[in-house]
Structure 1
Amino acid sequence: MAKHPEKITPPEILSPVGNYDSLLGAIGGGTDAVYLGVGEFNARQGASNFTPEEMENAIDLAHLHGISVYLAFNVPLKETELQDAIDVIDRAYATGIDAVIMRDFGFIDLVKKNYPDLPIHGSTQLNTNNTETVKFLEKLGLSRIIVARELDTAELKHIIDSTDMEIEIFAHGALCYSYSGQCLFSSFAANRSANRGACAQPCRWEFELYINGKNMNHHIGGVSPISCAELCTLPGLEELINTGIKSLKIEGRMKRAEYVTASSEIYRETAELICQDKRPDPSWLQERENDLAKLFYRGFTRGFVLGDRNVTHPEYSSSYGAFLGKTRRVKRSKNAASIKVKLNQTLEVNDGISIHTRQRMLGSKVERLTVDGGEVEVAEKGSIPYIHISPKTVKSVKTGDDVYLNTDVSLLEEMSERDVKKVPVNFQIRANIGRQLEITASAADIEVLYVSDYLVQRPKKAPTSVEQITDIIKRLGDTPYIADEIELKGEEDIFVPLGELTRARRSVVEKLQEKQLESFHRQPINPKIPAVKHKTANRIPGKLLLSVEVADIEGAKAAADSGADIIYIPGNIFGTVEDNRELVLKIKKKNIEIVFTLPAIIHEKELEEWTDILEKIKSRGYTVGCGEPGTLHLAHQMEINCVALKNFTVFNSLTANVLQENGASRVILSPELTLEETKNVVQTSGNGVQFEAIAYGRQQLLVTEHDLLKPIVDKGFYDENSNAFLQHKKIDRYPVKRWRNRTVIYDSHVINMLNNIDDMKNTGINVLRLEFPQESNQKVASVVSEFRKILDGKSKKNIPHSKVYSKGLYYSGI
């Protein structure tokens, strides 16, 4: 075990707060900081979230308990939302928010310019995988980055050692199957944007995996092949802390308050033990992990960060609890049923259990427990009771079925009864006859004085006793305070009405609270953003250019022969392109712009390879297409003409302008925008940048670090020429490709706007984009030719109706 310096400061424990109860739960769990969202401007629209007024109260309450508050504002913003968004930021700023978690480059820039003293944390949605991305975000003015969940500890430490910025990671909770910020699955499958916080969780759906027409689900473990297990880094927390991480983030703004309390408390206690150079006992750690499983569990993974390459749990995609045991015997009758189980943990009457039958997972309440024929309220770990459950549930249960504890009533009660630690306050009461009543309250290094209008009297009957005064002062109710020391100064034989004492106590406590919050509160800025203006007549180009993205040399030739103005080619085949004299000469003769594209996922160990390719691209005078901030930063430094690919999720003109300032001469807009929203961006952006929008193509829905096809590859059932797809409900087929041991999933439909070119032109874009990630050269040639003819006015041919084709989100939106 590595030795730590004595009493090293533990990393911050950052807890999820989806509502006010969760906030109290986080405080009760001893968290250091919380993050919360307001309305729809955050990546958890399914959480209760806070109104602006509730946000202000939550910030004040947390600050009174010494807890930092970060506002999650981690979604791309539409042009028409910018004013409402900045108004929310303004209220949070004035109330004293400690930081804002953001992902929209344009909005980051706007907030930084208007609130230079407000810390901004880069969301994990920014997909930070390498040091060049860190440099780019540092240039934007960020103070902290929540790095990608896919980094391992060596990569994490390398990034931490390379920057003065704070680095935060997710340590516990739900995992996205896709790299965050790069998922379009929910948008195109359910018209709900994951990038905008409304994910329908299609990765939790049931799928059948087919390779060359054969069902392969039995090779990958279940019917939910892309459903992730829950991240739990508790056993490897020391390894994470050794990287120098600043903050450990717990996911779960949609989970119950007891989950927030328990996870906050368990990770805080464990981190403190490690940082005090005390090895947490393995059995203690196992018990803590069991407690976490009882509150939410769909299998645990240590995550990519701790070297777990298989993060999925394909057998079952919902929470089902901690393992309790296997059924040894099943009894059933018309009105009663029970199962006999040797318990892996303690079980009580009214707890909830899940039983994994051959058909499905079943749930039931524990109605009774019997051991050796006698009823008990609690059956201890290691005992073999009969668990009496609903007769309806037991119909499908067989001997040998796994049983899980999914609701531990005692644990829930214990967590819900955690006291919210209150702030100790010292009081001094000065009461002298004929003089005004005075009360001083002090907490930490703040002291306030309240002087009442009431003049202390001589008692006409019974005096006001010390006990009465002390009792009134102690009544602090639902305030965040608790009376510590109470000192009385003055004469003993006095009279003060108890109501006056109550008013004085209430007034001094309010004054203390105001004084404590004074250091957090700021003056609002009230920035105003110009309304969206459409300059249609000035911003519609006379001629649309046609760009074509292909996968290989033959596709590039087909595109060049069929009328492409711009061809996008994968950067990793740069050498092959340069060696193909026929293609190079054809490109030069037809004055076609070539753009070599770089991936949206580049880890540090891959960065050198792509930097070398950038050097070659520069030497030959080509354009580069960048899909992530690190390579955009490099290309800008190297003065290479650059296109910002759609992976930047451009939703507004501010982001387009930031990308232009950082070297992008052309920006590909997000396919999640409607045509009207596209028009808003184009007409409001600064001059000088071109806009490109997708008119044809099967969209890449996600890319994941998980190697879904590895078991199939290892058994020899898949190679690069294989046809693989995930099928959902025997209707939608989602093509799957393996790329560098990562998995890429494509949409079941193909966007085709051939009949709607005029609608696209009226948005003011400059370039129509056609994408062919895996189509044949014949398909490339035929589709490009049809678009070329219409753009040149030589054809008005309409495409026939096809279930494969769609209009994407251009008319429906998200």
Structure 2
Amino acid sequence: MKRIELLAPAGSMESLIAAINRGADAIYLGGNKFSARAYASNFDNEMMMKAVDYAHSYGVKVYVTINTLLKESEIKEALKYAGYLYDIGVDALIIQDTGLINLIQKTYKDFELHASTQMTVHNGEGAIYFTEKGLSRIVLSRELSLKEIKHISKDLGIETEIFVHGALCVCYSGQCLMSSMIGGRSGNRGRCAQPCRMEYTLKGEKTSSKKAYLLSPKDMCLIDDVEEIIKSGTSSLKVEGRMKRPEYVAGVVDTYRRAIDKVIYKQKFDLKKGRDKLTQLFNREGFSKAYLYRNIGRDMMSYNFPKNTGILIGKAIDKNEVLLDGNISIGDGIRYKDDGFVLGKIIRKGKEVKEAFKGDKVKLVPSGYKKGDLIYRMSDKKMYDELKDYVKPYKRKILLQGELEFKVGLPLKLKTKFNNKEYEVLGDIVEVAQKSPLDMSRVEECLMKSGEIPYKFKKILFNTFEDGFIRISSLNNLRRELFEKISKEETSSYRRKRFKCDISEKKLKIGEDLGYVYSCINKDQLKALLEDNTVKNIALDISYTKHKGALNIEDFKNIKNKNLFFMTPNIIKEEFENIVKQIDEVLPYIKGLITSNVGIISLYKDKLFIIGDYKLNLFNKEALNFYREDIDIPTLSLELNRKEIKEIMKTVDYNVAIGVYGKTELMVSEYCPIGSTFGNKSNSKECNGACMRDEFTLIDRKKEEFKVLGDNRCRSHILNSLALNLVEEIKELKTFNISTFRVDFKDEKYSEVKTILSEIKKLKKSENRVYTKGHYKRGVE
């Protein structure tokens, strides 16, 4: 069985040290800019170099995340930063922004690039597309099943990385605009405000309501599935947690290291103890296996408590006593309801004790709990004290065998082998012993010390040893010099010198000017569009055929004198072949596609006219250029503001689209809050179709209502509470050289479509309707 990489998070130098001490093969971390964990401590340039050198001295790889979308004003600085990382020997970059990929490949052709999970690679065709674009590794979407991971990793032979532990987003990474649209903090730029961890009410027009943390998933934990994951052919098992404490990193990495070594080297490891340890470190009402076995229901979610739950260890039988269901110690962190304390005293049978055990009746001090309260242990002091020890630098040692020549009248000679290289140093001259010669065991004892260095001798071979004398400090200096020589050579071997690559210009597609392009999902919307003679371009979305009045394949065949487009879902997994069959069936009737699915783009780039959808997250000119071989008209991200759009378009000489009307899709998820709340209780794909019998909205704490739509694959789509409406900005957008305008209808009725068409003709919004301008004025952080 092949060696598999255990990839650990580091939000600080302490976390990096802890991860290396506990056996990580690689570390991923962020600089103080352009990282999707903007609120982690992260590393400035000086600390980054120290981190890289420290890791490399252990042979541990370092991947740096530049996994945010970059504004036109930022991309040159990001490229310069990538150059610094290139110089200091970073092993690879994890990137989201395709514009930065484009520039790095022009500038540092041999810099290894990994596709971030923010790029939403979730099918084989998409993985192939980015691999052919020069990315060495694909960090797959968390939503993939074991079968899908195996198909991409083993069957297609693509190097992949998957998350195995930690926080789980309810929306596909890279597709979430919820934090951005409702609060201006973009998850795509590392500043997510985590609206998924808030409480919501799900309400149907005909159905009762349910209030809970409906969008808050449990953390994923795949400790029991390590063997099957390794067999899938993936290359790297990734732990999430750059915002977590070093002790958390040490504990999780240690547990997965042992689980991996149990599979590969048949070492002993108690999985139950490992699972219990992970649960104590952090859990949200337990764990889930994410989507590894296609489980998509309520068991994935922490409906009652969105934060760390801890472990239930007892119940208050009155205000003074707790009946324990687990062990506790002084210094443990305790929670009851939303309150908590650090345990200062334990009183059992009237006496203070340092610890108590399952079945004991005890008083916990300070108290405050009431009869009936459940008592949780949030942190285990004993475990954390043990884990703190692994935060110490150089605790992990690389064991070497030394060879010493100790000959009177000659310099000391110490040598060793490391990484198939031989290292040798000479020391002071061994003198004739005036009194007692230096004992061999004393020499050996001195050389087998270590200190602040990764290396340590496990054995010393004496090639020559004569009775003689040398100062102990000389032995210490000799050992230190040899180890420092190894460390310096090992770390410097990763350094690079920048050079500029010369690559030919790409052949660009030049898309024609289409004016307005309208999309719709039901027959009432289509009827309104067909009745308007000014409407020339219509995209049909047939992803909702289970719903009454939804469009279907036959609608393409019945429309005359219009430019028709097939609008694909953003997410296409096991239904990929079926979507391709649908496209092929309507080929005679359509002008092209509207899609943000790179797998579909890859398949049809040379066959059909393609409009790239806004979920491609095109944030800068270089991102547009990345797709210009393959897309006829790219649609700009909806997170850009007026100034940023204008800046991009200054030097763009081809047709670019922008969305001017529509309810923005805030989230798309394999999990469906409707089915999980009002449908079947199981985790299976089988559903009772609750979403088709009623219309549902999610209501937040500010009483904003977000429409929830379920598609043919039982994925849920959460729409913004207000429709984007930029009809009054169209004149200005035309002066920026924008010539194609997207108008998307999702839940609008026939009369609303008519109203919007009228507004577009007048370039004037209706006074009695409430809309949003999205980010056009404000932009995102």
Q: Compute the TM-score of the two structures, normalised by the length of structure 1.
A: 0.85
| CA gap 1:385/1:653 in 2 versus in 1, 3 angstroms | same
Match of 1:700 among 665, 684, 703: 665
1:104 aligns with 2:97: yes
Aligned ranges 1:154-169 → 2 under 5 Å? 154-169=147-162
Amino acid at match of 1:651: F
Match of residue 483 from structure 1: 457
Please give the alpha-carbon distance, in whole angstroms, between the structure 2 residues aligned to 1:810 and 1:462.
Answer: 85
Instruction: Show CA shifts across 1:726-760 (max 9, x none).
Output: 11124322111122311111112222223333332
Unaligned runs of 5+ in 2: 504-509, 544-550, 682-687
Asked whether the equivalents of residues 571 and 613 of structure 1 are also in contact (C-alpha less than 8 Å), the reply is no
Distance in 2 between the 1:506 and 1:278 partners? 34
- Partner Cα distance (1:737, 1:189) in 2: 19
Over 3 Å counting, the alpha-carbon distance change for 1:275 and 1:429 in structure 2 is: closer
- Measure how far apart 1:670 and its partner are: 0.5
Deviation at 1:404, TM superposition (A): 1.8
Letter in 2 for 1:304: Y
Are the equivalent residues in 2 in contact too, given 1:562–1:781 (CA < 8 A)?
A: no
CA distance in 2, matches of 1:181, 1:285: 33
1:751–1:808 CA contact under 8 A, matched in 2: no
Q: 1:380-419 residue pairs with structure 2 within 5 A?
A: 380=357, 382-391=358-367, 393-394=368-369, 397-399=370-372, 401-418=373-390
Alignment-derived partner of residue 680 in structure 1 = 647
Question: Per the alignment, do residues 526 and 135 of structure 1 end up closer, same or farther by CA in structure 2, a change over 3 Å counting?
Answer: closer
Q: How does 1:3-82 map to 2 (within 5 A)?
A: 8-9=1-2, 11-82=4-75
Q: Give the match for residue 794 of structure 1.
A: none
Which position in structure 2 is the counterpart of 1:341? 323
Structure-2 separation of matches of 1:243 and 1:471? 47
| AA aligned opposite 1:622 | K
**1:474–1:107 distance in 2 versus 1, CA, 3 Å:** same
- Could you tell me whether the CA contact under 8 Å between 2:674 and 2:696 is conserved in 1? no
Q: 1:628 aligns with which of 576, 593, 597?
A: 597
Structure 1 unmatched ranges of 5 or more:
1-7, 332-337, 530-538, 791-796
Matches within 5 A, 1:207-356: 207-212=200-205, 216-217=209-210, 223-276=212-265, 284-299=270-285, 300-310=287-297, 311-327=300-316, 329-331=317-319, 338-343=320-325, 345-356=326-337
CA deviations on 1:482-503 (whole Å, 9 max, x unpaired) are 23344675764445583x6655
1:58 CA displacement: 1.4
CA deviations over 1:277-331 (Å, ceiling 9, x no partner):
6896xxx32322121111111121122113422221111101121222333x122
In structure 2, relative to structure 1, the CA distance for the partners of 1:442 and 1:157 (3 Å cut) is: closer
Amino acid at match of 1:552: N
Structure 2: distance between partners of 1:546 and 1:354: 57
| Whole-angstrom CA distance in 1 between matches of 2:636 and 2:207 | 37
Aligned length: 751
Q: Is the Cα contact below 8 Å between 2:759 and 2:765 reproduced in 1?
A: no
1:675–1:617 Cα change, 3 Å: farther
**CA deviation profile, 1:753-788 (whole Å, cap 9, x unmatched):** 233333323332222222221111221122222222
Equivalent residue letter for 2:752: K
2:484 alignment counterpart: 510
* CA displacement at 1:21 relative to structure 2: 0.7
Q: Does 1:524 align with 2:517?
A: no
Say yes or no: does 1:545 pair with 2:515.
yes
Are the counterparts in 2 of residues 298 and 319 from structure 1 also a CA contact under 8 Å?
Answer: yes
**Contact 1:91–1:524 (CA under 8 A) maintained in structure 2:** no
1:510-541 superposed Cα distances (whole Å, 9 cap, x missing partner): 22212223432222336899xxxxxxxxx9x9
CA contact (8 A) 2:6 2:257 kept: yes
Change (3 A) 1:322 1:625: same
Residue pair 2:431, 2:468 contacting (<8 A) in 1 also: no
Q: Is the 8 A contact 1:206 1:224 kept in 2?
A: yes
Whether the 8 Å contact between 2:9 and 2:29 is mirrored in structure 1 is yes
Q: Which amino acid aligns with 2:277?
A: D
- Of 578, 600, 619, the residue aligned with 2:556 is 578
1:137-183: per-residue Cα shift (whole Å, max 9, x none)? Answer: 22112222222211222222222332111222111110000011100
**Alpha-carbon distance between aligned partners in 1 of 2:586 and 2:103, rounded to the nearest angstrom:** 33
Shift of 1:406: 0.8
Paired residues of 2:557 and 2:586 also in contact (CA < 8 A): no
Aligned position for 1:422: 397
Question: Which amino acid letter does the alignment assign opposite residue 371 of structure 1?
Answer: R
Q: 1:320 to 1:574 in 2, by over 3 A?
A: closer
Matches of 1:405 and 1:483, distance apart in 2? 42
Indicate the residue corresponding to 1:535 in structure 2.
none
Aligned with residue 363 of structure 1, among 333, 340, 346: 340
The equivalent of 1:669 in structure 2 is 636
Q: How much does 1:683 deviate?
A: 2.8
Partner of 1:649: 617
C-alpha deviation, 1:248, in angstroms: 1.5
Cα distance in 2 between the residues matched to 1:212 and 1:56: 58
Q: Separation in 2 of the partners of 1:611 and 1:34? A: 39
Equivalent AA in structure 1 for residue 366 of structure 2:
S
The alpha-carbon distance between structure 1 residues 666 and 387, as it changes in their structure 2 partners (threshold 3 A), is farther
Aligned to 2:717: 744
SS of 1:414 mapped into structure 2: helix
Answer whether contact 1:86 1:527 (CA < 8 A) is retained: no
SS of 2:692 mapped into structure 1? coil
CA distance in 2, matches of 1:439, 1:279: 37
**Bigger shift: 72-81 or 18-27?**
72-81
Alignment CA distance shift 1:364-1:78 (3 Å): same
State the secondary structure of the residue aligned to 1:78: coil
Q: Which residue of 2 aligns with 1:335?
A: none
- In 1, Cα distance between equivalents of 2:412 and 2:236: 47
The amino acid of 1:627's aligned partner reads S
Deviation at 1:669?
Answer: 0.7
Look up the equivalent residue of 2:624 and give its one-letter code.
Answer: A
Q: Specify the alignment match of 2:547 in structure 1.
A: none
CA distance in 1, matches of 2:484, 2:756: 71
Partner Cα separation in structure 2 for residue 410 and residue 229 of structure 1: 25
Aligned-residue offset at 1:112: 3.3
- Deviation per CA, 1:400-439, whole angstroms, max 9, x where unpaired? x332211100011111213731123445565667665655
Q: 1:377 aligns with which of 347, 350, 354?
A: 354
Q: Is the 8 A contact 1:600 1:647 kept in 2?
A: yes
Residues 635-657 of structure 1: CA deviation (Å, up to 9, x unaligned): 125x1111111111111222212
Distance apart, 1:186 and its partner CA: 0.6
Instruction: Tell me, yes or no, if the aligned pair for 1:675 and 1:759 is still in contact at 8 Å.
Output: no
Task: Find the counterpart in structure 2 of residue 4 from structure 1.
Answer: none
Q: In structure 2, what is the Cα distance between the partners aligned to 1:242 and 1:436?
A: 53
Decide which of 440, 445, 453 is 2:420's aligned counterpart: 445
Q: Deviations over 1:584-608 (max 9, x none)?
A: 23xx2xxx532220001101x2011
Among candidates 751, 766, 769, match of residue 739 of structure 2: 766
- Structure 2-normalised TM-score? 0.89
Contact 1:437 1:451 in 2 (8 A): yes
